[in-house]
Amino acid sequence: MLLIAVAAVRISSRSGLPSLLLYLGIGVAIGQDGIGNVAFDNAELTQVIGYAALVVILAEGGLGTKWKEIKPALPAAVVLSTVGVAVSVGITATAAHYLVGLDWRQALIIGAVVSSTDAAAVFSVLRKVPLPSRVTGVLEAESGFNDAPVVILVVAFSTAGPVDAWYVLVGTIALELAIGVAVGLAVGFLGAYGLRHVALPASGLYPIAVMAIAVVAYAAGALAHGSGFLAVYLAAMVLGNAKLPHAPANRGFAEGLGWIAQIGMFVLLGLLVTPHELVHDFWPAVVIGLVLTVVARPMEVLVSLAPFRIPWQEQALMSWAGLRGAVPIILATIPMVAQIEGSERIFNIVFVLVVVYTLVQGPTLPWLAKALKLGDDAEAADLGVESAPLERLRGHLLSVAIPGASRMHGVEVGELRLPAGAAVTLVVREEKSFVPGPATVLRRGDELLVVATDPVRDATERRLRAVGQGGKLAGWLGTGGVEVTAHSATATRFHLPGGHGGSHEQRSRGSSRDSSRDPARGSEKKTSG
């Protein structure tokens, strides 16, 4: 099954067809109306597994979210995830009641369920479509934040008895969001501090520890009666921006778990649905989805972003990019578990709506971005810097990859002006490694091994990233560099472990090469910019 799902990813990437549709199709195919003839109707189990999958997906999304990109968009995303959700719920519920004939409880449940943009769908599309950083930041943050208030609303509307007054719902949402923020940030910062100051015995343990910390954030948030979903997203975002050891490996592991979570979740949702029952709810779903897509979502964006003076082209793209995926279908199981009258019909309507409008919106989003002339301009690519602690040696080994668009291309090693206590010890170029000198010219595609002592580790990475963005004059020209003052002479001479043990396991791409060199020779300051 996993091999089939992996093949479906390949088909999706080549055809432009959203992968969630392929996974849902696999689930339907092996279900009771398909060739597998597997009968499955356990909504409660589906909800539990769906929640677990959503935790993993949000953690993976948070780890890949860059704070410097999301920070300017944070106020807009917060308003869009709260006020915008209220606008969307009101408009969609009204349409479901008057146009489709659902009673108000059912209409409010559908309005709340489909108001959540799907993190997995949004993250997947944003990785493929080069959009302006502000648009990307708002969409990423919104998809990570809006699950929390939507879950609260769906649970409230699905509770037996009268629905609480609006001000009670607002207070409950505000309290749970505040608790989720506090728990997520606390767990994230504590986890990052621990991982940066403890050298684990094997590099493969770091990705596991990162995901475990994210799951702890969800559990702590839920136990504190806050939003566990918001807590896990924020904790993962803190971890993803904390310059942890083996950061690329951490993200790669999380991405793999995210794919497994998506595959399992979509297949299970496909199993839960009964295809022959969808025929009766097809047109109601199309009508509700049409109102959601062309009325509710644009109004949500317009009202929420009015104070921020965002250009209409970007607002139009954000309106069309409000993608729905597995999250609304998972939330549609809440009224089923609560045995609300008409809950099966709610699930069928949401299922059809998600499938139809994902098929429409997903493939057309790149075309719309191009039509609105919102393709992101070429910018200097950020460096990929990976760090591993050398615990007993009180130092760090930084692995630096120079991408094609980096302005570090053409810079001499001496022109990097690294702080005292840091040195470029090895350059890997075209699968050949050598020890550089101060006059060695760096090229795109090079991989560097940089050794830094504990006190200058952060300054070294900031300097490397600044040169990658602004070239050798970074700092002097205000391009994000930091002026590093000379440190007092300290013992910076030590040897990297050379395959005979030691406190740090070398990166695989450098383990077969002789890296037992003297790092002090590369730390000679050459300030001729």
CA geometry: angle at 371 spanning 365 and 372, to 5°?
Answer: 90
Shared domain check, 257 and 313:
yes
Residue 387 banded pLDDT, cuts 50, 70, 90: low
Q: What is the pLDDT of residue 505?
A: 37
Domain end call among 318, 343, 371: 371
Mean pLDDT across 401-430: 90
Q: Are residues 358 and 400 in the same domain?
A: no
Kindly state whether residue 17 falls inside one of the protein's structural domains: yes
pLDDT, position 219: 96
Q: What does DSSP assign to residue 431?
A: T
Q: What is the pLDDT of residue 146?
A: 86
Tell me which of 247 and 51 has the higher pLDDT: 51
Of 354, 322, 257, nearest in space to 24 by CA: 354
| pLDDT over 90 percentage in the chain | 39
Residue 13: is its pLDDT beyond 80? no
DSSP string, 331-384: HTHHHHHTT-TTHHHHHHHHHHHHHHHHHHHHHHHHHHHHHTT-PPPP-PPPPE
96 CB-near residues (< 8 Å, 6+ apart) = 102, 106, 107, 110, 111, 288
Query: Is residue 422 in some structural domain?
Result: yes
The answer, yes or no, to whether residue 71 has pLDDT greater than 80, is yes
Q: Which of 312, 346, 371 is the last residue of a domain?
A: 371
- What digits encode the pLDDT tens for the residues 338-355? 989 999 999 999 999 999
The whole-number average pLDDT for the span 212-219 is: 96
| Largest Cα span, the chain | 79
Residue 345 and residue 431 in one domain: no
The reply to whether 149 and 17 lie within a common domain is: yes
Confidence of residue 487 (pLDDT cuts 50, 70, 90): very low
What is the b/e burial string over 358-372, where b = at least 16 CB atoms within 10 angstroms of the residue's CB? beebbeebbebbeee
Q: Which two tokens stand for residue 183?
A: 């728990």
* Predicted pLDDT of residue 252: 86
- Give a yes or no: residue 321 inside a domain: yes
| Mean pLDDT of the region 318-324 | 88
Identify whether 195 is part of a domain: yes
Question: Cα angle at 162 between 156 and 167, to 5 degrees?
Answer: 60
- Name the pLDDT band for 188 (thresholds 50, 70, 90): very high
Per-residue pLDDT, 500: 37
CATH number at residue 215: 1.20.1530.20
Of residues 452, 470, 469, the one with CA closest to residue 461: 452
Residue 184 has pLDDT above 90, yes or no: yes
Compute the distance between CA of residue 278 and CA of residue 22 in angstroms, rounded to an integer: 18
> Is residue 93, in this structure, part of any structural domain at all?
yes
Task: Please write down the HEC assignment for all residues of 105-140.
Answer: HHHHHHHHHCCCCCHHHHHHHHCCCCCCHHHHHHHH
Whole domain around residue 213: which residue ranges?
2-371
> 367 and 289 in one domain?
yes
Residues 136 and 267 in one domain: yes
The answer on pLDDT for 330 being more than 50 is: yes
For residues 245 and 431, give the distance between their C-alpha atoms in angstroms, rounded to a whole number: 24
Sign of CA dihedral 103, 109, 112, 113: negative
More confident: 383 or 267? 267
Output the domain CATH number for residue 470: 3.30.70.1450
Is the pLDDT at 483 greater than 50? The verdict is no
Q: Which pLDDT band holds residue 214 (cuts at 50, 70, 90)?
A: very high
Same domain, yes or no: 26 and 163: yes
- Same domain membership, residue 284 and residue 401: no
Q: For the segment 125-144, what is each residue's pLDDT rounded down to a tens digit?
A: 666 666 777 888 888 888 88
Has residue 489 been placed in a domain? no
* Domain final residue pick, 349, 371, 393: 371
Where is average pLDDT lowest: 26-30, 378-382, 404-408, 456-460? 378-382
Q: For position 478, what pLDDT does the model report?
A: 47
The verdict on residue 198 lying in a domain is yes
Pairwise CA distance, residues 464 & 459, whole Å: 9
94, 200: one domain: yes
The pair phi, psi for residue 115, each rounded to 5°, is -85, -10
Residue 520 — pLDDT band, cuts 50, 70, 90?
Answer: very low
Q: What is the pLDDT of residue 470?
A: 84
466 and 519 housed in the same domain: yes
* Class of residue 299 by CB neighbours under 10 A (exposed 0-12, middle 13-18, buried 19+): middle
Same domain, 462 and 410: yes
Coil vs helix vs strand at 513 = coil
Looking at the structure, tell me whether residues 300 and 446 fall in a common domain.
no
Task: Give residue-wise pLDDT tens across range 38-58.
Answer: 888 888 999 999 999 999 989
Contact 58, 119 (CB under 8 A): yes
Number of helices and strands (H, E) in the chain?
Answer: 21, 5
If one counts the domains in the chain, the total is: 2
Q: Per-residue pLDDT averaged across 296-300, rounded? A: 96
Is residue 377 included in any domain, yes or no? Answer: no
Block residue for tokens 């971890």:
239
Taking only the tens place, the pLDDT of each residue in 427-476 is 999 889 999 999 899 998 899 999 999 889 889 988 998 898 888 887 65
In angstroms, the CA 521 to CA 296 distance is: 63
